[in-house]
Amino acid sequence: MKALKLRTWHWIVLALVVAWVTDWFIQRPDGQTRALNATIAAEGSAELKAYPYPFRVLRVEGDKAVMGTPRSRDVSVTRIIKVLYPDINVLDTNDPAFIAAQKELAGLQFEARDIVARQAGIKTVTWEIDRHWLGAHGIDVPAKP
């Protein structure tokens, strides 16, 4: 019987699969988080459902829901708008389309927060920069202090 000989590319593929599965298990939300995200999807406005950034609960810590946001002091809103709406001229912050996009982002973020805050067992909602989403869209976020 011939012994199985693994080539270098086999090991690379195996390592990638193991990394993907590990990442999936680490990021997989718990049941309460999944239920809150399902509520956002069910109760959200048509605008919230169609928005390019998926506002969602990242995790629940006791009675606090931690939601993801693309906005922070570390990432300018112009970079976020450029990713969300590539056709908007972000170099002109007085452009009515840019101003409208900023207002829409803020309004939909508050809508998602309000949906989560109304749910049983949730007393507070906090925001955390969504490093995973931003990174997937080519935006580097400075490391946590």
Q: Which residues pair with 63 in a beta bridge?
A: none
pLDDT digits (tens, 9 = 90+) for 50-64: 999 999 999 999 999
Read off the pTM: 0.76
What per-residue confidence (pLDDT) applies to 66?
97
What per-residue confidence (pLDDT) applies to 4?
61
pLDDT digits (tens, 9 = 90+) for 104-132: 999 999 999 999 999 999 999 999 999 99
2, 5, 37, 105, 134 from 59: Cα distances, Å: 49, 43, 10, 21, 18
CA separation for the pair 130, 128 (Å, rounded)? 6
Q: Which pLDDT band holds residue 3 (cuts at 50, 70, 90)?
A: low
